[in-house]
Amino acid sequence: MTTPGFPRGDEPIEPEPIDAEIVPAPDFTPSVRAPSFEEVTGYTEAGVPTFDHVRDKIEQRTATAIGSQELAEMGKEAAAADEAMAKRDEAAKNKLAEIRKSMGL
């Protein structure tokens, strides 16, 4: 009887050696620094807004204006679609009433 892992039941199977390379450990010196006053507030110590702060405000206002315009236009389209659907429903209701009248109901 043979044992799993042993070819004839009494000799262990020698694993093949693994060819490996020693890799030096990376340098883990922290490269993170605390943000400056300007980076946090968007203003210099003298109270003058930074260029990045002004640019971000302009981009935000532009995006808000574009989004508002798109929502307003979608509102008009939605209102027009609702009005068309109401007209269609009214026409269907009138047609049904006409059919019932012609049948004597």
* pLDDT tens string 63-89: 999 998 888 888 878 888 888 999 999
Please provide the DSSP assignment of 47-91 as one string: SPBPHHHHHHHHHHHHHHHHHHHHHHHHHHHHHHHHHHHHHHHHH
Tokens of 99: 């059919």
Give the tokens for residue 39: 């980076």
pLDDT tens-digit profile of 8-67? Answer: 556 667 778 888 888 888 877 767 788 888 888 999 999 999 999 999 999 999 999 999
Find where tokens 């020698």 sit: 14
Whether the predicted model's global pTM rises above the 0.75 cut: no
**Contact between 4 and 12 (Cβ < 8 Å):** no
Please state the domain extents for the chain: 49-103
The rounded distance, in Å, linking the Cα atoms of 35 and 50 is 14
